[in-house]
């Protein structure tokens, strides 16, 4: 059955301890993340775009991303954090996205300080950022636009991605915190956690920090927490696992001409029925 009821992301953060978040692009992935024990689901713009075989380059609209996030939130009892790229435009767009996401039951959004249209953080060099003060005003407008106290806005800086260094990353996040951001996300594409750990060592604000260890996968979640991170987001591992599994399974079927050799490696139909909540739905027609 559709879940419907869930704590806000603010509630989850208030419980204390490290908050672990898994990326997904549809309701099934969100349910699997919840059942694995994650505290929240990241509605990843990268995953949502990739699921439609499109690059993560502001090609999809806010409506596309909102629809995906809502499908996930309706299916799980943990909060969904919506990745809203660079906010889809200016201050007016920030206000509009807050109105729409909040009204749809999403309790947290994340916006990044890149120029619109954005390009995925791990593609190429020379990422262009919005002026920090301009982005700060957009964060302030987003906070003014929300209607309830539970809604949470995460401000993400791409300063490290753009090669601007630690001082600029700190300056930007201080500006966003001063503007009202409820949390900040500091992103890095280095192969170790050194940049992010240096940021955490200097962060003195009472504002939670999220990290995304995509390119530094050896950093243990508890080590990140001890370093000062409140949120760890595994933003795309589920999609990447799915691609590898499908490539292997489909290739083996074509090679062998039957499915006998892969049946032990794939879910049973009963497993899928359980994830669908089929029995609860069947009871409605009895």
Catalytic site positions: 56
Task: Measure the CA–CA gap between 159 and 188, rounded to whole angstroms.
Answer: 8
Confirm if 48 and 60 have CB atoms less than 8 A apart: yes
Task: Measure the CA–CA gap between 282 and 17, rounded to whole angstroms.
Answer: 39
Q: Which of 159, 167, 210 is nearest to 189 (CA)?
A: 159
Give me the DSSP letters along 167-219. HHHHHHHHHHHHTT-SEEEE---SSSSHHHHHHHHH--SSS-EEE--SS-TTS
Confirm if 34 and 275 have CB atoms less than 8 A apart: no
Q: Which residues of 95-122 are buried (b: 16+ CB within 10 A; e: fewer)?
A: bbbbeebbeebbbbbbbbbbeeebbbbe
Q: Which of 257, 264, 240, 213 is nearest to 29 (CA)?
A: 240
Q: Are strands 19-24 and 231-234 parallel, antiparallel or unpaired?
A: parallel
Q: Cβ neighbours of residue 223 under 8 Å, at least 6 residues apart? A: none
246 three-state secondary structure: helix
Task: Measure the CA–CA gap between 162 and 165, rounded to whole angstroms.
Answer: 8
Task: Measure the CA–CA gap between 135 and 176, rounded to whole angstroms.
Answer: 8
């Amino acid at each position: 059955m559709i879940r419907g009821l869930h704590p806000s992301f603010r509630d989850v953060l208030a419980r204390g301890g490290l908050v672990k978040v898994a990326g997904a692009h549809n309701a099934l992935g969100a349910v699997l993340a919840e059942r694995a024990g994650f505290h929240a689901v990241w509605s990843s713009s990268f995953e949502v775009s990739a699921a439609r075989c499109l690059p993560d380059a502001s090609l999809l609209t806010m409506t596309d991303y909102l629809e995906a996030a809502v499908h996930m939130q309706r299916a799980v009892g943990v909060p969904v954090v919506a990745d809203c790229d660079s906010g889809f435009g200016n201050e007016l767009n920030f206000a509009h996205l807050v109105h729409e996401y909040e009204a749809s039951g999403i309790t947290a959004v994340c916006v990044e300080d890149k120029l619109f249209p954005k390009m995925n953080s791990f593609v190429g060099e020379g990422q262009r950022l919005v002026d920090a003060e301009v982005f700060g005003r957009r964060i302030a407008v987003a906070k003014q636009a929300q209607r309830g106290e539970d809604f949470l806005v995460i401000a993400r800086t791409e300063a490290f991605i753009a090669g601007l260094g630690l001082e600029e990353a700190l300056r930007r996040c201080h500006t966003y915190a001063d503007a009202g951001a409820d949390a900040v996300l500091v992103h890095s594409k280095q192969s170790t956690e050194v940049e992010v750990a240096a940021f955490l060592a200097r962060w003195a604000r009472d504002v939670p920090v999220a990290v995304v260890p995509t390119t530094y996968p050896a950093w243990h979640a508890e080590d990140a927490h001890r370093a000062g991170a409140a949120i760890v987001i595994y933003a795309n591992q589920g999609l990447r696992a799915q691609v590898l599994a499908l490539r292997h399974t489909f290739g083996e079927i074509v090679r062998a001409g039957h499915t006998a050799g892969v049946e032990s490696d794939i879910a049973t139909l009963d497993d899928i029925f359980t994830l669908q909540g089929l029995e609860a739905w069947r009871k409605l027609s009895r």
